[in-house]
Amino acid sequence: MSFFATAQHEKERLQYFTSPEGRDDLYQYNQKERRTVLEVLEDFPSVQMPFEWLVQLVPPLKPRAFSISSSPSAHPGQVDLTVNVVSWTTPFKRKRSGLCSTWLANLDPHQSTVIPAWFQKGSLPPPSPLEPLILIGPGTGCAPFRGFIEERSIQSQSSTTAPIMFFFGCRNEENDFLYRDFWSHHSQEEGVLSEAKGGGFFVAFSRDQPQKVYVQHKMRENSARVWDLLSEGAAVYVAGSSTKMPSDVLEAFEEIVSKESGLPSESAVRWVRALERAGKYHVEAWS
């Protein structure tokens, strides 16, 4: 850009950004503010870059990966997605929106829109209907488990199925309780999440009370039931944000195993690690 800038002050500013001394200012200007290519070009209007150069320098948009949140048995020929519409405020108080999620949110559901899509095998293997499940999926982490539960509900109509415990978390009951009616329906007496069938649905609203409550707190509150399913050979599935949640959930499992089995903490850690080695502790986390 500095090579093609005709205004001297813009040329000097761009050259400063590329110098060792300007590295921190470049980070503040660009990465922290998440400026787009168009915004940068608008900030330096004297830059007359040939189009051939521009298309070679601008990186292509990356594909977005989403977990399928439906069962093909329940919805043949249809794929459901659970997408969080991304928005945030930059350090300079500018409102920013996610590119793909905002575009999807603005689509007209009454119009047909062609969207290129690729299907890849997920990192969460489909469970056997006879395998008890402990699912932990706060926020949009619930997406794959909605499909799991739809699938098991259909399986339960023709054969015996194992129980499911599901721990879901969100900020507020009124604002982001995703699929509230769906979980409630499958938690009723004959549902695959019902306590009558050995399962259960447990939700943590982290911001509805002075003290924050997360999925790991609900797990500890129901430690005996968690241990019962683990003792029966349950598989554990964890999905959601890759920040602290997966490590906090793992620590909660280690504490539950130690408390309910009477094992010392070091042995409980090895017990949970053995679950991982046996392919019965699955994590799908994203940033």
**At 225, which CATH number?**
3.40.50.80
Q: How many domains does the chain have?
A: 2
* Rounded to 5°, angle at Cα 143 from 132 and 233: 15
pLDDT value of residue 214: 96
Its sign, for the CA torsion 171, 175, 179, 185, is: positive
pLDDT value of residue 123: 86
CA distance 216 to 210: 17
* Rounded to 5°, angle at Cα 188 from 186 and 194: 75
Residues of the chain scoring pLDDT < 50: none
pLDDT value of residue 242: 87
Check residue 28 and report its DSSP letter: I
pLDDT value of residue 134: 98
pLDDT value of residue 193: 96
Q: Is the domain of 144 the same as that of 275?
A: yes
Domain housing 239: 133-285
Alpha helices in the chain (DSSP H): 8-17, 23-26, 37-43, 51-57, 99-105, 143-156, 180-187, 215-221, 223-231, 245-261, 265-277
CA distance 221 to 213: 11
Q: Is the domain of 257 the same as that of 152?
A: yes
Q: β-strands 281-286, 95-97: how paired?
A: unpaired
pLDDT value of residue 221: 97
pLDDT value of residue 116: 87
Within a domain: 121 = no
pLDDT value of residue 189: 86
Q: Strand, coil or helix: what is 83?
A: coil
